[in-house]
Amino acid sequence: MIMKIKVFLLLVMGGISMLTGCKHRETKQENLQTVKTEMAAVYGEVKTSSFPGKVKAASEINLSFRINGPITKINVTEGQFVHKGQVVAEMDSRDYVIQLSAAEAEYTRIKAEAERIIQLHGKQSVSDNDHDKAVTGLQQITAQYDAAKNALADTKLIAPFDGYIQKRYSDRAEVIGEGMPVFSMISADLPEVEINIPANEFVNRDRFSSYTCLFDVFPGQVFPLQLISISGKANANQLYTMRFRLKRGNDSQMPSPGMSAMVSIIYKPEENQKISVPITAIRDTGNGTMVWVYDEATQTVSERKVTVTQILNDGKVIISQGLNLGETIVTAGVHFLSEGEKVKLLPDVSSTNVGGLL
């Protein structure tokens, strides 16, 4: 009896230990290390060119009906946010309901007749000519029936994507024609920035490295940009248009279409230029001097061996090998990481949120 009790207690303790271990592992997976990062920068002067720009919506379109008729409902107002698939306006559907009913009745009649002839043709009771006429007639009435269904569906004007109603051009009870704009709409996707550069900058476009922009309404905040395109042909002013997309960041402070911006183009460094990083990013191990490189796509860190050639008075070191310009490295928390570990970034402190109390 005592032996059975001991065995039972061992099993219970083992189960508790396994549950505790699983819970500990789950907590460990959820509690990611918080690290501070910084981009590897060029030591010394880096060529930068700045140009004024304008924020534009990623997509801006006019919404219009594909059919003619009077508008019976306007369901949204200017400035309102709408979701993809939302009905923003409706047209009088009475005539299109009648057309659909007539088309459906004709479709039902011809379909039944065509199926009968096709069945008889399979028994070689009707000629090939009668069979072909029946098939063609069924195809034609099917197309007419589908067109009538589409016309009825087109009495509702649908938002094609998430976004904002920018302007309304038509009112309720107004009779409009096919293709006449009812609303203009901008998408809720990340906005774009557009600038124009002169020919002397355009010919050096292969040396462009990265792009940022500033806004007067967000003082002290730098917004990174992703290049979308550079026009290959100059406009009437002999300038070349560059389009950028604002990268995802603090959406509560995302610039809006129409805002003015100052875009900076950072050039690639010369081959003999060196890279500087904060000395806090450096970690000496038995295998040499290391830094942690952060991968934005996987949100993980990997160890990288580097060569330090000089320690500067401003708290930075010069690296001659092992690191590329623009790579993101960990500058705080370097002694508590492991290879391939997933981490979360320390959020930027807003200049208007002193102490991070808001």
Task: Work out the percent of the chain whose per-residue pLDDT is above 90.
Answer: 51
How many alpha carbons fall within 13 Å on the CB side of residue 40? 25
Under 8 Å between Cβ of 75 and 161: no
Note the pLDDT of residue 73. 95
At residue 274, the 3 state secondary structure works out as: coil
Give the tens place of pLDDT for each residue, 42-73. Answer: 776 678 899 999 999 988 899 999 999 999 99
Please say if the pLDDT value at position 88 is more than 60.
Answer: yes
pLDDT-wise least confident of 42-56, 97-111, 326-340, 341-355 = 341-355
Which of 226, 243, 267 represents a domain boundary (last residue)? 267
Give the tens place of pLDDT for each residue, 248-280. Answer: 665 557 888 899 999 999 988 665 567 888 999
Give the tens place of pLDDT for each residue, 106-151. Answer: 999 999 999 999 998 888 888 989 899 999 999 999 999 999 999 9
Question: Alpha-carbon distance 33 to 44, whole Å?
Answer: 33
Under 8 Å between Cβ of 289 and 306: yes
How is residue 240 written in tokens?
């070349």
Question: Alpha-carbon distance 219 to 259, whole Å?
Answer: 14
| Inside any domain, residue 289 | yes
> Which residues span the domain enclosing 232?
48-59+189-267
How is residue 169 written in tokens?
């051009």
Which of 187, 215, 232 represents a domain boundary (last residue)? 187
| Average pLDDT, integer, range 13-28 | 47
Give the tens place of pLDDT for each residue, 196-223. Answer: 999 999 999 998 999 999 999 888 888 9
Under 8 Å between Cβ of 190 and 254: yes
Strand bridging mode 60-64 / 81-82: unpaired
**How many separate domains does the chain show?**
3
Do you know the residue count of the chain? 358
| Inside any domain, residue 353 | no
Which of 187, 204, 225 represents a domain boundary (last residue)? 187
How is residue 269 written in tokens?
């460094």
At residue 123, the 3 state secondary structure works out as: coil
